[in-house]
Amino acid sequence: MERLWAPWRIRYIEKAKEEKSCFLCDLPAENKDAANYILYRGRLNYVILNSYPYNAGHLMVAPYRHVAGLDEMTAAERSDHIEVISRAIKVLKEVFKPEGFNTGVNMGRIAGAGVDKHIHSHVVPRWQGDSNFMPLLADTKVINEALEETYQKLSGKF
């Protein structure tokens, strides 16, 4: 049997079990943007690197306000959310030159990898051939760049 060691995943697993607060609320309040991988602070929404990305450059857009769904956001929050997603796509095109994107809105714990009652959107850059045999045969995704490097490339571009 082959083993792929991913010791960094234990932090996610342990935090998910004990998490009583909302990291999408907590991280912007800490004012440690580089340490928390916050790339952009808009008026009503912000951009953060996904700490468990599908691909290099995988971003999340979230409102500062703790709201569960689109229907609970104000019209201004929804409009700003789409504008920030558009801005994130523009920056990713400039920096990484992807051939496409996956975007999606997560609402509810089951849809958002354990994030309960804080809507957020994912922006995932995609390239031809970025899905190789590893996810298909080994149920493993290979990320080709460290979060720190991705943050440095995208920092200041918004």
Q: Which positions are catalytic?
A: 120
How would DSSP label each residue in 30-44?
HT-HHHHTEEEE-SS
Exposure letters 70-97 (e unless 16+ CB within 10 A, then b)? eeebeeebbebbeebbebbbebbeeebe
CA–CA distances in Å: residue 33 to residues 28, 36, 40, 111, 145:
7, 5, 9, 26, 19
